[in-house]
Chains A and B, each alone.
Chain A
Amino acid sequence: AQSVAQPEDQVNVAEGNPLTVKCTYSVSGNPYLFWYVQYPNRGLQFLLKYITGDNLVKGSYGFEAEFNKSQTSFHLKKPSALVSDSALYFCAVRDVVTGGFKTIFGAGTRLFVKA
């Protein structure tokens, strides 16, 4: 079965410092991995995805993610955090078994960026 795990409920970082939000995955076959962000009382917004190709994927708002096949990880990163990055971040994988229509989300990691 496809699954993703986000080991940290919360990440705290000071503004201007680099941030990392961790995600590991378990899939059968090729992984189709995504990151979404959710601001308070809003729906989710797509940040980036890994399908194939370069292991470093660049996305919206200066975020990037590194795909590591040997460690089955897909960590989200940003070189310099902003207070406005404070939000709930979800790692997700598409379920290939059901033809890709089902997205399985991790439990989420709340990011706090302190000024």
Chain B
Amino acid sequence: DAMVIQNPRYQVTQFGKPVTLSCSQTLNHNVMYWYQQKSSQAPKLLFHYYDKDFNNEADTPDNFQSRRPNTSFCFLDIRSPGLGDAAMYLCATSYGTEPINEKLFFGSGTQLSVL
């Protein structure tokens, strides 16, 4: 089945140690998103890619970066994780031709712990 896959499911890192989360999709969607979700709160959009075009949210900290080397893969890099960055990170996709009315397809998320 076509899907959005996130690895790893759980990630533990140390304070200040760079960490990378990965996302892959078999849906061939143009748009990939990264959301941060803390403690069952509302997911918060960090950034998205439309194809290779990167779009950063204004309030996303510089500590968060992203890469999309090809259509299928997208990475979230946290350069110096702080305790406040502990959260569930959700990757999502959408087709992109009519973004305003398209549903999002989510991966199962990566739960990041910062020690």
Contacts and interface: CB of A to CB of B under 8 A. Distances in A.
Interface of A: 32, 34, 36, 41-46, 49, 51, 88, 90, 94, 96, 99-103, 105-108, 110
Of B43, B90, B108, most A-chain CB atoms within 10 Å: B43
Contacts of B82: none
B22 interface: no
Interface of B: 4, 6, 31, 33, 40-45, 48, 50, 55, 57, 90-92, 98-109, 111
A24 to B, nearest CB: 15
A101 B107 contact: no
Contacts of B55: 101
Contact of B40 (A49, A106, A110): A110
20 contacts: A36-B104, A42-B109, A43-B4, A43-B90, A43-B92, A43-B109, A44-B43, A44-B104, A44-B106, A46-B103, A46-B104, A46-B105, A51-B101, A100-B101, A101-B33, A101-B48, A102-B45, A102-B48, A103-B104, A108-B40
A34 B109 CA distance: 20
A109 B20 CA distance: 31
Contacts of A44: 43, 90, 92, 104, 106
Contacts of A43: 4, 6, 90-92, 106-109
